[in-house]
Amino acid sequence: MLESLPTPCLLVEADRMQNNLDTMASHLDQHEVALRPHLKTCKNIEIARSMLDPRSGGATVSTLAEADYFFEHGIKDLLYAVGIAPGKLSGVADRIAKGMQLTLVLDHPATARAVANAAEQFDCPFRLLLEIDCDGMRAGFKPDSDGLLEAAGILANAGCKVAGVMVHAGGSYLCRDPDGIRDMAARERASAVLAAERLRAAGHELEMVSIGSTPTALLGDNFEGITEVRAGVHVFQDLVMAGLGVCRTDDIALSVLCEVIGHRPHAGQLVVDAGWMALSRDRGRAPAGPDLGYGLVRDLNNGDLGELIVQGANQEHGLIGHRSGQPVDFKRFPIGTRVRILPNHACATAGQHAGYWLLKDHNREPEYLERCAGW
Amino acid sequence: MLESLPTPCLLVEADRMQNNLDTMASHLDQHEVALRPHLKTCKNIEIARSMLDPRSGGATVSTLAEADYFFEHGIKDLLYAVGIAPGKLSGVADRIAKGMQLTLVLDHPATARAVANAAEQFDCPFRLLLEIDCDGMRAGFKPDSDGLLEAAGILANAGCKVAGVMVHAGGSYLCRDPDGIRDMAARERASAVLAAERLRAAGHELEMVSIGSTPTALLGDNFEGITEVRAGVHVFQDLVMAGLGVCRTDDIALSVLCEVIGHRPHAGQLVVDAGWMALSRDRGRAPAGPDLGYGLVRDLNNGDLGELIVQGANQEHGLIGHRSGQPVDFKRFPIGTRVRILPNHACATAGQHAGYWLLKDHNREPEYLERCAGW
């Protein structure tokens, strides 16, 4: 079947995906905490359904377009986990009026004032989590800040629901090893618990104490005081996660199928019909290392080819060579040979495609699954 | 109008775009050579029509999906400028049978044999350009190679049309200054002319001697022996082109509109709702420099804000700071402020969006233009 799919295209191995989901579910079951899967990686309803946790029922999204797509397909409880832009509040109010249980996040008293004003203007009691910063990497109130209580007060006074706190340890992606990730998981949890305690002491009844990233969700060993964990990349895994020790390379369920269109004798490289448009420009853990170029090459059946990587990428051309610099044996890869490329970053590579071919059984036709897109 | 568009979104300034097209047309007019615009940058029919040159009438595409889209909208003469994958020949034959005048490229005798076999199998006399390498950057026969004549012979014997040669000086993107680009343009032309002479001497009647990249098309000063020039980025221009001296920053017609969603006091940065999903992961001329992060920030009316750049990007978050490291004045950019981001690489940034808002006149509603996508 893989011989006749149009190239380049995105493949998902159903067995590996299910195994990745089972690994996450089993770890969180053991710690008796619910998963609110982040759907920004898969952006597909069939895959999303296999990720949902009945204990939470809800999901996380990174755009309002994802919220619309998943709501139309029956997922009502959605956390939009990017700080709300005031310009989006009118659209959010429309969605809530249609029955979407949409929870927003913010991290500044000024945003809280904008939300409070919009709550009055649109007669819509927005529901919010306050975002907490645990690693200085992106967004969030410091858990011990005055601004946190100020923002909560502004929201509550306007009739909005301060439903809880949210922390994302994005710094876990930069850790050097599993011990570093466990330390980061402890900081993520501690920040969430401290912020929640302060808000509760100020009289807010919190329902959600939400933390998560794929590394800290899979390696964290203490979820006390946490109501739910967010993760999304675990569904496919990728070379960044394998490099962190969060999964094995053979757990990666996503790959880009492509075809050899040329040989470069002077460079010892193959040319394939997958460039950065199909692979994304994401360079993974480079330059800190290891540098796997634009992805690791596998054969048509996902078999190991050593450290054959995509060393260069133009819009629709990929240049494949050995990481060692040794020339590729062209006789092994004649023009027309098909290979697969494992992605540095599953969210970025999948984001370049309108859908997947789901491989359930090598004797059956692959099933095509669409992805939602845009904002 | 820009206050109410959904963010993030892609904007095109019609005046700047027209000026960029006029600059290219005037330069090529002066040298009496036709343009075959590359439509991989715009991927939109209205913009494509404004790029077409009546002397050629044809266009260049980077995917068969682009070929289908533009053919459906009336452009029949299309050069698919990526080495043909044997697995795509069946689909190409179907398109030719429907009336598409599709020209393919290849750079290996083995590909020529695959094309010859498919010509017989599908009873389709494919039309081809032989790709020539002038800079060792990507693909192509060396102009003085035996393989070039061997491939041409295989094709001609199978009844296919060897229509000419194609060279792309991708190395021009790595030049340090306009003089380097002019040298590269000379090499691009010389390679094409030498390969064409050898093929003609071997009895092939060539119609097309095709060269081009935006830098070499705009700065080249000798097009003798060339029948057409390919370029695509010139329609929008970008920070890479401005860095090369091929355009001014104020010529860049493309930008991503986004909104401030947070302040990071410890880092002196703004957070906006445009991350790498809206900007692409393309890092432009970094690390060789200058490093403009994920793009240069302008105000809502495209006004200069100094060296304010996108220093970090997550999937849906951008972190904006001064290149100097000086903290951003938060009072000037309160939560909810809208700004624009000029792209490192127009093809990559546009590739992240399903369409554009075309700004023709600041007092009129922007017009939405769709883009085609996929393969």
Reported ipTM: 0.97
User: Is A180's pLDDT higher than 80?
Assistant: yes
Per the CB < 8 Å rule, is A373 touching B354? yes
**Does B82 sit within 8 Å of A317, measured CB to CB?**
yes
Which member of B87, B107, B312 has the closest CB to residue A262? B107
Q: Determine the CATH number of domain B15-234.
A: 3.20.20.10
Is B153 exposed, middle or buried, given 0-12, 13-18 or 19+ CB atoms closer than 10 A? middle
Residue A311 burial (CB count, 10 A): 19
Q: Quick check: B267 and A85 CB within 8 A?
A: no
- Quote the CA–CA distance of B207 and B227 in Å, as a whole number: 8
CB-side neighbour CA atoms (13 Å) of B355: 13
Q: How far apart are CA A242 and CA B364, in angstroms?
A: 51
Kindly list the residues from chain A whose CB atom is less than 8 angstroms away from the CB atom of residue B348: 276, 281, 315
Model confidence at B48, pLDDT cuts 50, 70, 90, reads very high
B252 conformational bin, left if phi > 0, alpha if psi -120 to 50, beta if neither: beta
**Is residue B254 over pLDDT 80?**
yes
CA B313, B314, B315, B319 dihedral sign is negative
pLDDT at A22: 98
Which region among A192-206, A240-254, B283-297 has the lowest average model confidence (pLDDT)? B283-297
Query: By CA distance, what is A113's nearest residue in B?
Result: B335
Angle at B120 between CA B98 and CA B71, to 5 degrees: 20
Give me the residue from B267, B281, B319 closest to A280, CB to CB: B281
> Is the pLDDT at A285 greater than 90, yes or no?
no
Phi-psi sector, A139: left (phi>0), alpha (psi -120 to 50), beta: beta
CA distances from B221 to A13, B7, B32, B226, B246 (A): 53, 42, 11, 12, 14
Separation of alpha carbons B247 and B241, rounded Å: 6
pLDDT of residue A170: 92
Residues of A in contact with B4 (CB under 8 A): 87
Whether the per-residue pLDDT at A201 is higher than 80: the answer is yes
Evaluate if residue B50 carries a pLDDT over 90.
yes
Q: Of chain A residues 155-184, which have a CB less than 8 A from chain B?
A: 170
Residue range B344-368: mean pLDDT, rounded: 93
Cβ within 8 Å of A, B 291-310: none
A158 has a pLDDT exceeding 80? yes
Chain A positions in Cβ-Cβ contact with residue B85 (cut-off 8 Å): 7, 259-261, 273, 336
Distance from C-alpha of A238 to C-alpha of A347, rounded to nearest angstrom: 9
CA distances, B148 to each of B138, B144, B159, B162 (Å) = 16, 8, 17, 11
Average pLDDT over residues A326-347: 98
**Any idea what DSSP says for residue B124?**
-
From the CA of A140, how many Å to the nearest CA of chain B? 8
CB-CB under 8 Å, B84 with A336: no
B336, A85: Cβ pair inside 8 Å? yes
SS3 content of chain B, % helix, strand, coil (to 5): 35, 25, 40
pLDDT at A192: 98
| Phi, then psi, of B173 in degrees rounded to 5 | -70, -20
Average pLDDT of span B349-355? 98
CATH topology of domain B247-370: Lyase, Ornithine Decarboxylase; Chain A, domain 1 (2.40.37)
SS3 B151: helix
A31, HSE (Cβ side, Cα atoms, 13 Å): 21
Q: Rounded CA gap, A328 and A130, in Å? A: 52
pLDDT band with cut points at 50, 70 and 90 for residue B176: confident
Which among A108, A258, A371 is the top mutation candidate for probing chain B, defined by the most B β-carbons within 10 Å of its own β-carbon?
Answer: A108
Q: Is A146 on the interface with B (CB under 8 A)?
A: no
- CA B289 to chain A, closest CA, distance in angstroms equals 16
Least confident of A324-333, B5-14, B41-50, B359-368: B359-368
Average pLDDT over residues A166-190: 94
| Tokens at A148, concatenated | 């946190």
State whether residue A332 sits within 8 Å of chain B by CB. Answer: no
Q: Is 90 exceeded by the pLDDT of residue A66?
A: yes
Nearest to B256 by CA among B279, B284, B272: B279
- Average of per-residue pLDDT across B131-142: 96
List the single residue in A with minimal CA-CA distance to B260: A85
CATH annotation of A249-370: 2.40.37.20
Q: Residues 78 to 137 of A: which have CB under 8 A from any B CB?
A: 82-88, 91, 107-108, 110-111, 114, 136
Q: Residue B361's pLDDT is what?
A: 80
User: Binning pLDDT at 50, 70 and 90, where does residue A309 land?
Assistant: very high
Residue A75 neighbours by CB under 8 Å, 6+ apart: A45, A48, A52, A58, A59
Per-residue pLDDT tens over the stretch B179-196: 999 999 999 999 999 999
How many whole angstroms separate alpha carbon B9 and alpha carbon B345?
Answer: 16
Interface check A2 vs B, CB under 8 A: no
Beta carbons of A375 and B315 less than 8 Å apart = no
Query: Which chain A residues contact residue B287 at CB under 8 A?
Result: 287
- Pick the residue of B282, B315, B331 with the most A CBs within 10 A to test the interface with A by mutation: B315
**Residue B192 · residue B209 · CB < 8 Å:** yes
**Rounded Cα–Cα distance for residues B216 and B230 (Å):** 10
B290, pLDDT greater than 90: no
- Kindly tell me the sign of the dihedral angle through the C-alpha atoms of B160, B203, B34, B139: positive
Any A CB within 8 A of B9 CB: yes
- E-strand ranges in chain B read 9-13, 34-35, 59-61, 77-80, 101-106, 127-132, 161-167, 208-211, 228-229, 254-264, 269-272, 296-299, 304-313, 318-322, 338-342, 355-359, 367-370
Q: Do A338 and B87 touch (CB under 8 A)?
A: yes
pTM of the model: 0.97
B58-88: burial string, b at 16+ Cβ within 10 Å, e else: bbbbbbbbbbbbbbeeebebbbbbbbbbbbb
Rounded CA separation B212/B166 (Å): 9
Predicted confidence band of residue B1 (pLDDT cuts 50, 70, 90): confident
Give the 3-state secondary structure of residue B272: strand
Q: Quick one: pLDDT band at residue A361, thresholds 50, 70, 90?
A: confident
Say if the Cβ atoms of B87 and A7 lie within 8 Å: yes
Pairing relation of β-strands B101-106 and B161-167?
unpaired
Task: List the one residue out of A248, A237, A164, A151 whose CA is nearest residue A200.
Answer: A164
pLDDT for res B287: 74
Residue with tokens 């397909």: A73
Q: Do A334 and B110 touch (CB under 8 A)?
A: yes
Helix (H) or strand (E) segment spanning residue B17: helix B14-30
- The answer to whether A220 and A26 have CB atoms below 8 angstroms apart is no
Q: Give CA–CA dist A231/A223, Å, rounded.
A: 14
DSSP A316-368: S-EEEEETT-PPP-GGGS-TT-EEEEE-S-HHHHHTT-SEEEEES-TTSPPEE
**pLDDT band, very low/low/confident/very high, at B70 (cuts 50, 70, 90):** very high
Q: Where are the domains of chain A?
A: 14-235, 249-370
Q: Which residue bears the tokens 């994302």?
A: A168
Of chain B residues 263-292, which have a CB less than 8 A from chain A? Answer: 263-264, 266-267, 271, 273, 276-278, 280-283, 287
pLDDT for res A290: 84
> Does B114 contact A281 at a Cβ distance shorter than 8 Å?
no
CA distance A109 to A178: 36
Contact B254, B235 (CB under 8 A): no
Tell me the nearest-neighbour CA distance from B213 into chain A, angstroms: 13
Hey, are the CB atoms on A261 and B110 less than 8 Å from each other? no
How confident is the model at residue B334, as a pLDDT? 98
Peptide bond into B343 cis (omega under 30): no
Confidence class of residue B310 from pLDDT cuts 50, 70 and 90? very high
- Average pLDDT in the B236-244 region? 96
State the first-to-last Cα distance of chain B, in angstroms, to the nearest integer: 34
Cβ within 8 Å, pair A319-B266: no
pLDDT bracket for residue B56 (50, 70, 90): confident
Cβ-Cβ contacts under 8 Å, B314 against chain A: 138, 170
- Separation of alpha carbons B163 and B184, rounded Å: 24
CATH topology of domain A14-235: TIM Barrel (3.20.20)
- pLDDT higher than threshold 90 for residue B363: no
B271–A139 C-beta distance less than 8 A: yes
pLDDT at A208: 98
Q: Answer for the pair B322, B274: CB distance below 8 angstroms, yes or no.
A: no
Q: Render A205-253 in DSSP notation, one character per residue.
A: ---EEEE--HHHHHH----TT--EE---GGGT--HHHHHHTSS-GGG--
Cα-Cα-Cα-Cα dihedral of B54, B60, B61, B67, to 10°? 50
Mean pLDDT score of chain A: 96
Distance from CA of A322 to the nearest CA of B (A): 16
- What's the pLDDT score for residue A50? 97
